[in-house]
A and B are shown apart, each in its own frame.
Chain A
C-alpha cells in the first residue's frame, strides 16, 4: 500500500538546541509528496506514545519518479482514484521538528537503523502559485513552507517570524530560496522586534502606496539585492499569500488580508488521531461547514476559516 509503509530511520540529528531533522528511507514505491502535505509518523515503539503525529514533508528525494499509470505495482484503486499521482521509489524523506511533548520527545529518541511506520502523504498541500508570491512563516511553520519555496525558487517574498534568533531555523536555506526575506523576532535578537504579521501589513500598505522601503531584512541576507524593484511595487499588494505558523499568527494574518481582495492560503494545525479523515478529531469551522484539517486541509483559503 502506497500510503502506509515501514521505513528505516537513516538519521536524526539536532539542527540546534530546539530543532531536529529526521531522515527516513523507503526502498519501494510511494506517492510523491507535494509541498504542504504531511505524514503521520510513529513516535515510539510501545503504547506510550500511542498515536502517530503529523509532520510536514520537509524534503523528498528519490531515485526515480513516474506517473502512477506506469507503475510496476498494479493498484487499480489508486489509478482510478488519483489519476494524476506520481510515484517514487527509493525515497528519502526528511522532517524538521521541534520537541514539544511526549510524541516529539519519542521521535527525538529514534536512531539510525530503527524502523518507523509512516502514513502519507496526507492532505492537500499548497496550490501552485502563478507567479511571485508572499510566504509567511511562523517558527516551525517554515518546515512546511521551505519545500514550497524551493520548488518555486526566487519567487517568494518571505516573511519569517520566530521568538528568537535561534528559533529562526533554516533561515539561510529559506533565504536562499526566496527573492527577499523579512525577519522579525519576539525578542529582537534578529531582524525587527515584533510580529511578522505587522511587517506583512506594512509591506502590503507600502506597496499599495508605491513605497519600496522596509528595514527588516536579515543581516545575513543583506548581501542579496535587498531593495525592492519599484516597477514591481504596485503588484506586490496583489500577490497571493501562503502561510504556515501558530494559530494566533494565522488569525492576525486573516485580519491583515481582509478586504484586500488577495488570495491567502494558510496551513492549519489541529490535534490528530487518524490523519486519514476518519476520526473527526481535527476539524476546523469554515464558512462552508466543518472541514477536516487532515483531509480537506491542512491548507485552506484563510478567508474561509471561521476564526
Chain B
C-alpha cells in the first residue's frame, strides 16, 4: 500500500491534489466529470462578504502555453455560497477550503468570521484560504500581498478572528517571496499557497488596445510553472509551515516537481479547463510514480530535493 495522504495543519487530505481557487467553480460545475470524493480538497472560487460583479469582458485571452484572466473576483457572496452551494459540497468526503478576499482589513475579518460562524453552525468548511492579491482601498489600492506591512496587519487581524485553519495565498508579484512567506508565518498563517497568477498583459495590435477589458490580467498555465516551482522552493526554505504549490501543473510529473521541491500538497487550476479530469488523473499519476520508484509514503518524496 502506498500512502499518499498528507496533513495541512489540522486538515487530513486523502491525496495531495486540490483544486485551485477560481478554476473549479463551487465544485458542482465539475461534479459531472470528476468524483469529488477523489480530490484531496476542494478550494472554491474566491468569496467576498457581498456578491461581486467582476470585470467587463473580454476577461480571458490565451497566451503562449498559458492564459490571462481578469475575472475581477466575480462571486455570489458568502451568504449565497453558504445557503446555495455548501449543502451540495457537504455530501462529499472531501475537505472544503473557502477562498476569500476583501478590499479592507475590516472586510477580510468580517468575511473570515462569517465563514467560521457558518462552519461552526453546520459544518462543511474545513479551512480558509485568504487571497491577498487584492488592492487595499484604505491604502491607495496597494495590493495587500505586495506590501509586507499591510500583509502583516491583515493576516494578523484575520488570524485573531478566525478559528479555522488559515492558509495565506501569496502573490508572486513581489521581489522576495520567501520573505513574504515568512511575514505570513509570523502573522499566524497555518500554511501558505504559492503562487497566485502573475500579472501580465496582451495587446491587440490591429486595434492598438489591450485585449482584456481590464487591461492587465493574471497569467496562469504551464507558462508560469518554472517560476512557480522556483518560488515554492524559496518559500519552503524560508518557512516551517506547510506549503501548497501551484502554477501550471498539467500532469503528475509537474505536480511531483512541486512536491520534491518541498510542497506538502499541490493545487491544479488551468489544467482543469483543458482536461476536466486533470485533478484525479494527477493524483493517480503520483501514486503510480511512487510505486515505480518503490516508495511507500509520500512524505519520503516531499522536500526530497537534493541540494548541490
Residues of A within 8 A of B (CB): 1, 3-4, 42, 47-52, 77-78, 81, 102-103, 117, 119, 270-284, 290, 295
Q: Does the CB pair B222–A50 fall under 8 Å? A: yes
Query: Helix, strand, loop or mixed for chain B's interface?
Result: loop
Complex interface: chain B residues within 8 A of A290 (CB)? 53-54, 74
CB < 8 Å neighbour of A281 from B24, B33, B53, B69: B69
Q: A51-B67, A280-B71 given as contacts; is B273 within 8 A of A271 (CB)?
A: no
Q: How far is the CA of A103 from the CA of B170 in the complex (A)?
A: 32
> Quick check: is B135 within 8 A (CB to CB) of the other chain?
no
Smallest CB gap from A2: residue in B = B32
A271 and B58 contact, CB distance less than 8 A: yes
Residue in B24, B30, B69 whose beta carbon sits within 8 Å of that of A273 in the complex: B69
Note all chain B residues with C-beta closer than 8 A to A1: 32-33, 277
Whether B276 and A50, one on each chain, are in contact in the complex, defined by CB atoms closer than 8 angstroms, is: no
Are B31 and A77 interface neighbours, CB within 8 A?
Answer: yes
| B29 CB contact (under 8 Å) in A48, A117, A277, A281 | A277
Bound-complex Cα distance A275 to B276 (A): 10
- Is B57's CB under 8 angstroms from A279's CB? no
Query: Per-residue CB proximity of B96-125 to A under 8 Å, as 1/0?
Result: 000000000000000000000000000000
B residues less than 8 Å from A280 (CB atoms): 22, 45, 54, 59, 71, 74
Known: A4-B277, A51-B62, A281-B69. 15 other contacts (CB 8 A): A4-B276, A49-B62, A270-B57, A270-B58, A271-B60, A273-B273, A276-B33, A276-B276, A278-B24, A278-B25, A279-B69, A280-B54, A281-B71, A283-B59, A284-B57
Closest B-chain residue to A276, C-beta based?
Answer: B29
- 3 shortest A-B CB distances, which residue pairs? A278-B25, A281-B60, A278-B29
C-alpha gap A119/B276 in the complex (Å): 9
Cβ B250 vs Cβ A47 within 8 A: yes
A51 contact from B32, B54, B71, B274, Cβ within 8 A: B274
Most chain A C-beta atoms within 10 Å of own C-beta, residue among B23, B64, B66, B274: B274
User: How far is it, in angstroms, between the C-alpha of A88 and the C-alpha of B249 when the chains are bound?
Assistant: 34
- B-chain residues with CB within 8 Å of residue A47 when the two chains form the complex: 65, 221-223, 250
Q: Considering the chains assembled together, what is the distance between the CA atoms of A166 and B45 in angstroms? A: 45
Q: Is the CB of B67 within 8 A of A273?
A: yes
**Cα-based distance from A52 to B270 in the complex (angstroms):** 11
The answer to whether A278 touches B272, judged by C-beta atoms less than 8 angstroms apart, is yes
A239 → chain B closest CB, angstroms: 31
Contacting residues of chain B (27-72) with chain A, CB-CB under 8 angstroms: 29-33, 45, 53-54, 57-62, 64-67, 69, 71
Query: A77 vs B92: C-alpha distance in the bound complex, in angstroms?
Result: 14
Q: How large is the interface on B (under 10, 10 to 19, 20 to 34, 35 or more residues)?
A: 35 or more
The residues of A that contact B32 with a CB separation of less than 8 Å are: 1, 3, 77-78, 81, 276
Kindly report which residue of chain A lies nearest to residue B35, judged by CB atoms. Answer: A77
Q: Which residues of B contact A49 (CB under 8 A)?
A: 62
> Separation in Å of the A214 CB from the closest CB of chain B?
36
In the assembled complex, which residues on chain A have CB atoms less than 8 Å from the CB atom of B62? 49-51, 102-103
Cβ of B45: which chain A residues have Cβ within 8 Å of it?
A: 280
Flag if A282 contacts B57 (CB, 8 Å): yes
A276 & B30 in contact (Cβ 8 Å cutoff): yes
- 23 A-B pairs with CB atoms under 8 Å apart are A1-B32, A1-B33, A1-B277, A4-B33, A42-B274, A47-B65, A47-B250, A51-B62, A51-B274, A52-B274, A270-B57, A270-B58, A271-B57, A271-B58, A273-B67, A273-B270, A274-B29, A274-B276, A276-B30, A278-B24, A278-B273, A281-B57, A290-B54
Chain A residues positioned under 8 Å from B29 (CB to CB): 274, 276-278, 295
Query: Which residue on A lies nearest to B69, using beta carbons?
Result: A281
**In chain B, what residue has the closest Cβ to A42?**
B274
Looking at A42, A48, A272, A282, the one whose CB has the most chain B CB atoms below 10 A away is: A48
Identify the interface centre among B59, B62, B250, B273: most chain A CB within 10 Å of its CB: B273
Q: In the complex, what distance in Å separates the CA atom of A281 from the CA atom of B22?
A: 10
B186 within 8 A of A: no
Q: Report the nearest B residue to A1, measured CB to CB.
A: B33
Selected contact of A279 from candidates B33, B53, B60, B250, CB within 8 Å: B60
Q: Return chain A residues, CB-CB under 8 Å to B270.
A: 50, 273
In the complex, chain A residues whose CB is within 8 Å of the CB of B69: 273, 279, 281
- Annotate B203-223 by CB proximity to A: 1 below 8 A, 0 otherwise: 000000000000000000111
A245 to chain B, nearest CB (A): 18
| Shortest distance between the CB of A160 and any CB in chain B (Å) | 27
- Nearest A-chain residue to B62, judged by Cβ: A51
Q: A280 to B60, alpha carbons, bound, how many Å?
A: 9
The answer to the question of B296 belonging to the interface, with a C-beta cut-off of 8 Å to chain A, is no
Chain A residues near B223: list those with CB within 8 A.
47
Q: Indicate if the CB atoms of B74 and A283 lie closer than 8 Å.
A: yes
* Chain A residues positioned under 8 Å from B272 (CB to CB): 274, 278
Q: Given A273-B273, A283-B59, A50–B67 Cβ distance below 8 Å?
A: yes
Can you name the residue of chain B whose Cβ is closest to the Cβ of A82?
Answer: B32
A274 to B22 alpha-carbon distance, docked (Å): 11
Contact mask B68-88 → A, CB, 8 Å, 1/0?
010100100000000000000
Identify which of residues 211-251 in chain B touch chain A, using a CB-to-CB cut-off of 8 Å.
Answer: 221-223, 250
Q: Which residues of A contact B276 (CB under 8 A)?
A: 4, 119, 274, 276
B275 at interface, CB cutoff 8 A: yes
Q: Smallest Cβ distance from B10 to chain A, in angstroms?
A: 28
A292 to chain B: closest CB distance in Å?
10
Q: How far is the CA of A50 from the CA of B270 in the complex (A)?
A: 9
**Residues B23 and A278 in contact, CB atoms below 8 Å apart:** yes
Alpha-carbon distance A190/B60, docked complex (angstroms)? 36
